[in-house]
């Protein structure tokens, strides 16, 4: 069975209550069929508000992070249960802006993946190499390590609740996109790892998004590659026209 395409908008630390509400409403109005799975990831303070705006629509809500504990004395942190409680279906974990900007390590990301799955949140796990790592030809070993460590203990029977987002760090927010061939090569590698670690059927069921300067102009060609199952979109998800054009490119 063909995998359903999945397009998610990572709003990062952008929008306000008013602009987020307007953006969510416009996206919901534009997603009129179920051919493509769609989600948006607003900043924490707006999750409940956006979830309310999107209730009954075809657009799901994702958080951009979580803390791997049910509750406790963790000042400033947010638990998976709280995210579920305000209407999140997904959580983005391991984004490079957290790995590189905030020092998040694979082992900590693994705790987050486990906590998310246990709480009933579906995971979008980001992996990707830096420019230096690519130039040294270390891309595959970096991706292998990120996946191996972050998915330790993951039950392959839950593969339908996992999305891998391949986001080459050098393509994020830079306007520089991996070519469809470059992206497809890494996506095929990731699916091959899933085949080896799990089995053919689980690998075939795994959704692998591409992220890194995805725009209306390049989305269709990227997502027509055999192992590219959608997109994790940053900048272009902040305008309904560009985000909806990307969604259309996935159909
Ligand atoms: P841009 O689309 O702005 O390059 O961001 C990609 C990204 O980091 C999505 O998570």
For atom 9 of ligand 1, which residue has the closest CA?
234
pLDDT of 177 reads 87
Q: What is the pLDDT of residues 53-76, one digit of tens each?
A: 999 999 999 999 999 999 999 999
pLDDT tens readout for residues 195-236:
999 999 999 999 999 999 999 999 999 999 999 999 999 999
Over pLDDT 90: what percentage of the chain? 97
C-alpha 231/C-alpha 39 separation (Å) is 11
Q: Answer yes or no: is the C-beta of 128 below 6 A from any ligand 1 atom.
A: no
Does residue 61's CB lie within 6 angstroms of at least one atom of ligand 1?
A: no
Q: What is the DSSP string of the chain?
A: -PPPEEEEEE-TT---HHHHHHHHHHHHHH--SSSEEEEEE--GGGHHHHHHHHTTSSEEEEES---SSSSSS-TT---HHHHHHTT--EEEES-HHHHHHS---HHHHHHHHHHHHHHT-EEEEEE---HHHHHTT-HHHHHHHHHHHHTTT--GGGGGGEEEEE--GGGSSSS----HHHHHHHHHHHHHHHHHHS-HHHHHH-EEEEESS--HHHHHHHHTSTT--EEEESGGGSSHHHHHHHHHHH-
The answer, yes or no, to whether residue 175 has pLDDT greater than 90, is no
Residue with the smallest CA separation from ligand 1 atom 5 is 234
User: Can you tell me which atom of ligand 1 is nearest the CA of 237?
Assistant: 2
Q: What is the mean pLDDT of residues 100-120?
A: 97
Mean pLDDT taken over the chain: 97
Q: How far is the CA of 204 from the centre of ligand 1 (A)?
A: 25
Nearest CA residue ID for atom 7, ligand 1: 234
Q: What is the mean pLDDT of residues 129-154?
A: 97
Note if 187 is an active site residue: no
Q: What is the pLDDT of residue 2?
A: 80
pLDDT at residue 1, rounded to an integer = 59
CA of 17 to the centre of ligand 1 (A): 21
What would the pLDDT profile of 11-35 be if each residue is shown by its tens digit?
Answer: 999 999 999 999 999 999 999 999 9
The reply to whether ligand 1 has any atom less than 6 angstroms from the CB of 167 is: yes
User: pLDDT tier at 176 (50, 70, 90 boundaries)?
Assistant: confident
Q: Which atom of ligand 1 is nearest to the CA of 92?
A: 10
100 is an active site residue:
no
CATH class of 5-250: alpha beta
Tell how far the Cα of 98 is from the centroid of ligand 1, in angstroms: 13
């Amino acid at each position: 069975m063909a995998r359903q395409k999945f397009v998610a908008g990572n709003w990062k630390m952008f929008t306000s209550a008013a602009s987020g509400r307007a953006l969510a409403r416009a996206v919901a109005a534009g997603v009129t069929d179920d051919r493509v799975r769609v989600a948006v990831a607003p900043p924490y303070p707006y999750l409940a508000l956006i979830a309310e705006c999107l209730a009954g629509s075809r657009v799901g809500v994702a958080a951009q992070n979580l803390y791997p504990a049910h509750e406790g004395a963790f000042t400033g942190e947010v638990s998976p249960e709280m995210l579920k409680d305000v209407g999140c279906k997904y959580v983005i974990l391991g984004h490079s802006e957290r790995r590189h900007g905030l020092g998040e390590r694979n082992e900590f990301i693994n705790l987050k993946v486990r906590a998310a799955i246990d709480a009933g949140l579906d995971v979008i796990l980001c992996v990707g190499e830096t420019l230096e790592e690519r130039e040294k030809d270390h891309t595959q070993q970096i991706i292998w390590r990120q996946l191996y460590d972050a998915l330790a203990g993951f039950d392959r029977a839950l593969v339908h609740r996992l999305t891998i987002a391949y986001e080459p760090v050098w393509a994020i927010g830079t306007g520089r996109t991996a070519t469809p061939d470059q992206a497809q090569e890494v996506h095929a590698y990731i699916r091959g790892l899933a085949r080896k670690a799990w089995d053919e059927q689980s690998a075939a069921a795994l959704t692998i998004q591409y992220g890194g300067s995805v725009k209306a102009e390049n989305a269709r060609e990227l997502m027509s590659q055999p192992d590219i199952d959608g997109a994790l979109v940053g900048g272009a998800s902040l305008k309904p026209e560009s985000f909806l054009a990307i969604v259309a490119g996935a159909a």
